[in-house]
């Protein structure tokens, strides 16, 4: 109870122009609401889609918990919660990759596809953390950033042009539509993360940080859109699939 009251105390002291703190709070509430929506919606679908909806709810729930801690960290320390953010990403981003496998199971997707995407996402995030928070001097950010970027583009290639795309085309219908939407989230929505990395680490690219944009605000908005959006795409596909089967 004492910790809860302390958290509310931090909120009351938030400055009216503290847009970082504001987006942490709104992001937390939005993802809590999304989790409740996904969890309560699970029983509306058959087993094929129930797991996908469950994973969507888990993704936003994990993010909501981390955003609660990140909001308090920002309010107390006044610094970007890099560690907590990467902990959140290393849990939620692989689960977002799992969503591709789950929706493509109907077309015969094998677990090897899931594990390839998970491995690439973990490499992308771990090397990104090394470059941003551990080996962040000299050529470290560039080297680790390159490895992280290669893992990211592997994921992009696999879902846009590789076996994942072929499976989606075989499935057709709601699955293909959902797959395309998720691909756009990865290509466009996830692009804020490498851009934020470049803006936050030293090197020829750190001039991006001079644009006057606070990367925490961009991260917070992007996280909410990407994670909730992923789940809503899956939910829409499940509704479309159910409607087709009932017709």
Residue 6 belongs to domain with CATH number: 1.20.1070.10
pLDDT tens, residue by residue, 161-209: 999 999 999 988 889 999 999 999 999 989 888 877 777 676 655 555 5
Question: What DSSP designation does 117 have?
Answer: H
Average pLDDT over residues 47-75: 93
CA distances from 77 to 27, 69, 81 (A): 19, 12, 9
Domain count for the chain, please give it: 1
Predicted model pTM: 0.88
If you search the block for the tokens 């076996």, which residue do you land on? 163
The token pair that represents 143 in the structure block: 């080297």
**Does residue 143 contact residue 131 with C-beta atoms inside 8 Å?**
yes
Give the structural domain span for 162: 2-246
What Å distances lie between residue 147 and 15, 57, 132, 171, 241, CA to CA?
A: 39, 30, 13, 33, 38
Q: What is the band of 65 on the pLDDT scale with cuts at 50, 70, 90?
A: very high
CB burial of 184-204 (b: ≥16 within 10 Å; e: otherwise) equals ebbeebbebbbbbbbbbbeee
pLDDT 10s digits, 81-114 = 999 999 999 999 999 999 999 999 988 899 999 9
What single DSSP character describes residue 133?
Answer: I
How confident is residue 8, by pLDDT bands cut at 50, 70 and 90? very low
Residue reference for tokens 């993802």: 31
Type and span of the H or E element at 240: helix 215-246
Rounded Cα distance between 159 and 101, Å, is 10
Given a cut of 60, is residue 9 above it in pLDDT? no
Nearest alpha carbon to residue 41 among 243, 231, 241: 231
With beta carbons less than 8 A apart as the criterion, state whether 35 and 231 touch.
no
Residue bearing the bigger pLDDT, 46 or 42:
42
For the chain, give the percent of residues with pLDDT over 90: 58
Number of other residues whose CB lies within 10 A of the CB of residue 147: 16
Question: Measuring CA to CA, how many Å separate 218 from each of 2, 102, 105, 223, 239?
Answer: 32, 29, 34, 8, 31
Q: Cα–Cα–Cα angle for 226, 232, 233, nearest 5°?
A: 85
Q: What burial class does residue 56 get, using C-beta atoms within 10 Å of its C-beta: 0-12 exposed, 13-18 middle, 19+ buried? A: buried
Return the SS3 of 218.
helix
């Amino acid at each position: 109870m004492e910790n809860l009251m302390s958290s509310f105390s931090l909120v009351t002291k938030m400055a009216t122009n503290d847009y970082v703190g504001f987006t942490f709070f709104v992001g937390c509430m939005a993802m809590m609401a999304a989790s409740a929506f996904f969890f309560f919606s699970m029983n509306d679908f058959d087993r094929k889609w129930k797991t996908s909806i469950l994973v969507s709810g888990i993704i936003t729930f994990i993010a909501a918990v981390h955003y609660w801690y990140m909001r308090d960290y920002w309010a107390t320390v006044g610094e970007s919660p890099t560690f907590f953010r990467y902990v959140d990403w290393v849990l939620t981003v692989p689960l977002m990759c799992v969503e591709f496998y789950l929706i493509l199971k109907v077309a015969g997707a094998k677990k090897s596809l899931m594990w390839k995407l998970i491995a690439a996402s973990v490499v992308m995030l771990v090397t990104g953390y090394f470059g941003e928070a551990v080996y962040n001097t000299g050529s470290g950010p560039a080297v680790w950033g390159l490895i992280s970027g290669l893992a990211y583009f592997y994921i992009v290639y696999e879902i846009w042009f590789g076996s994942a795309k072929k499976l989606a085309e075989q499935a057709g219908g709601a699955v293909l539509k959902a797959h395309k939407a998720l691909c756009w989230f990865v290509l466009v929505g996830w692009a804020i993360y490498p851009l934020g990395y470049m803006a936050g680490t030293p090197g020829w690219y750190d001039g991006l940080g001079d644009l006057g944009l606070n990367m925490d605000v961009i991260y917070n908005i992007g996280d909410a859109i990407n994670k909730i959006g992923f789940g809503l795409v899956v939910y829409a596909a499940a509704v479309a699939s159910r409607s087709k089967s009932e017709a």
